[in-house]
Structure 1
């Protein structure tokens, strides 16, 4: 891989820039966040909510902010994000975009060429800086899936400073984050389990399993920035949580074993109710706590977990109705705002790519 070239979008069917992190304020209150900007070919991906959009490529975004201490949750999902005219025209990655359904017109993903990012949406305003070099997965930065290369790197340990916005409150925070950038010319799998783990021995792990043990992978970034990889992953679910909306049962507590690396970890969701519904797609995404053993060393830490492809018990129609109800409420809120200002800014600064 070559940087900063590979920080930019690629000719791909699906691509994303994903961040998660654990944050604290001055009073030691705990927060967690996730933000992901996607780029997709709507005709070649199996994402029903975007497949009829008449564009060659579509950007869309998902974000999550959790007040862990007070058990509050904010989710923002946009089925289309429109880039500004000056996006992707700088020497380094620069993306400024609007999410029309929310009316928020100043989302930012900016990188300075040295893996330092500005990440901004209606709930986050963060500076995120890599502490370690990129983890190029599988050693070269790609996997081979269905005879095609899936490119993937992670920034496993990043420092965070900035502000979060909860209602009318702006709160200064700091903490640690993780970043993934992945792209491929195939639509990808429909079912996976994924974990990002940051441990107190200054070691990080990326763990993923596609289609029930058929494709398992562990990427390890050590304290000295040496990378190791393994495929002898054993995942055992210990506890589930049932969604009150889709009736899906998500495994939210796991035993993770990697025999070749003498790794045994227990991971558990910090807050169980972390289902995200995007059209007819449902998945679980949220922060986890981690403890266990690597070799003879006891370790603990934090991370994030993503569970995709668990079958809902409710029909897809019920899930669509749930989303449409939520979008109706959002549109009503937008209508009450100063629409003239929003659209004046929109017309002068943005265009559909």
Structure 2
């Protein structure tokens, strides 16, 4: 059996090598490069199965250790979003996410093997929402990292692909760099809240069946400064960001189609994270949950019975016809809160393939304890444009 697994891994590695060579050295249009990148991801997501750890209760989070990669788990991401303004009070939203999709678990890796043997596929997404101009831009990078052009955990660099980098000089500060045709961002983030572990007993449950869970924490508020560089001209930016780090092996169960996820930073210094796992038959899985974070950092775990999410407006993708719920009415009786969230821009779809999803800046307003509340955040909608390959076991 091990020989068959190794043979399968060699075939995947050879295919990835050839695809990467074609991407790097053959003249191609932007669409062709995107197709080649899609091929790399599909190969990784369909790679030969192996023995991976699953998220189990009892995980003790330690920082800065857990800011780093967890190679014993198949899927991992470092996710940053934020709402920023420039010196003229023009608003921008951004997303920069680095993904690790495991091909071989740590126990099967040989430090002396060829650089063309694939251990992890690295890919990243960068999106920028110009709220004032109602423009949305997104980019994707994909790599095996065979020549050091992508990887994890090297000095202060937590993750990088080419010149897109996530660096950290300690437990509570990060630096981000990403470039695209629309310009580039250089951001420094400093945590003003401590990390928050989601779920219970160190694990965030995604389904009732065994193995469908993750280790998941957030830094829910980071003071952010930096600049947006367009055609050589730098525009200063400031605002607040949110950081998620999650690792798992197979989050989606067979009966689940995707998820709806929200992070909100309220003006009163509180924060909220909610997600609902959608069933293929309709409705939300009872494993859906969230976290309310008080101004002093105290957390309240929210079960699916503690909140209700009702879509109230939709946007139809011109790319694939998917209908995305981009406005929601949300109630949390235990927190005595009711509010509405709305997209700052309707079209914030990352039509990348094979993982197409909607991810964008939002505004929130409503009441808590009878008092008006306002906030900003991000909304993520997955599984509306097709199945999420590779996230089930």
Class of the TM-score when normalised by the shorter of the 2 chains? 0.7 to 0.9
Moved more, 13-22 or 217-226: 217-226
Quick one: structure 1 residues 173 and 81, their matched pair in 2 at CA, closer, same or farther if it must change by over 3 Å? farther
What's the CA shift for 1:138? Answer: 2.0
Determine the structure 2 residue equivalent to 1:177. 241
Moved more, 32-41 or 229-238: 229-238
d(CA) in 1 for partners of 2:332 and 2:291? 11
d(CA) in 1 for partners of 2:133 and 2:144? 30
d(CA) in 2 for partners of 1:96 and 1:226? 30
SS in 1 for 2:363: strand
Q: What are the residue-to-residue correspondences of 1:15-164 with 2, within 5 Å?
A: 15-42=76-103, 55-80=118-143, 82=145, 83-84=148-149, 88-90=153-155, 93-95=156-158, 97-98=160-161, 105-122=162-179, 123-145=184-206, 146-148=209-211, 149-164=213-228
d(CA) in 2 for partners of 1:155 and 1:129? 10
What's the CA shift for 1:182? Answer: 0.2
Determine the structure 2 residue equivalent to 1:202. 269
Could you tell me whether the CA contact under 8 Å between 2:252 and 2:258 is conserved in 1?
no
Q: Judging by fraction of residues, say which structure has more strand.
A: 1
Provide the TM-score with structure 1 as the length reference.
Answer: 0.79
Question: For 1:205-240, what per-residue CA distance to the aligned partner results, in whole angstroms no more than 9, with x for missing partners?
Answer: 001000232122120111111111111221111010
Question: For 1:220-266, what per-residue CA distance to the aligned partner results, in whole angstroms no more than 9, with x for missing partners?
Answer: 11111111111122111101001111011111110011222222110
d(CA) in 2 for partners of 1:229 and 1:305? 19
d(CA) in 1 for partners of 2:357 and 2:268? 30
Determine the structure 2 residue equivalent to 1:309. 383
Question: For 1:319-353, what per-residue CA distance to the aligned partner results, in whole angstroms no more than 9, with x for missing partners?
Answer: xxxxxxxxxxxxxxxxxxxxxxxxxxxxxxxxxxx
d(CA) in 1 for partners of 2:205 and 2:344? 33
Could you tell me whether the CA contact under 8 Å between 1:84 and 1:95 is conserved in 2?
no
Provide the TM-score with structure 2 as the length reference.
Answer: 0.71
Quick one: structure 1 residues 72 and 230, their matched pair in 2 at CA, closer, same or farther if it must change by over 3 Å? same
d(CA) in 2 for partners of 1:161 and 1:311? 34
What's the CA shift for 1:175? Answer: 0.4
SS in 2 for 1:129: strand
What's the CA shift for 1:5? Answer: 1.0
Could you tell me whether the CA contact under 8 Å between 2:273 and 2:291 is conserved in 1?
yes
What's the CA shift for 1:66? Answer: 1.6
Moved more, 280-289 or 27-36: 280-289
Determine the structure 2 residue equivalent to 1:319. none
SS in 2 for 1:109: strand
Question: For 1:111-170, what per-residue CA distance to the aligned partner results, in whole angstroms no more than 9, with x for missing partners?
Answer: 122220011111211001110101111254422343234100001111000111334432
Aligned residues: 298
What's the CA shift for 1:298? Answer: 1.3
Could you tell me whether the CA contact under 8 Å between 2:229 and 2:235 is conserved in 1?
yes
User: What's the Cα RMSD here?
Assistant: 2.4
Quick one: structure 1 residues 108 and 262, their matched pair in 2 at CA, closer, same or farther if it must change by over 3 Å? same
d(CA) in 2 for partners of 1:85 and 1:164? 23
Could you tell me whether the CA contact under 8 Å between 1:61 and 1:81 is conserved in 2?
no
d(CA) in 2 for partners of 1:114 and 1:8? 11
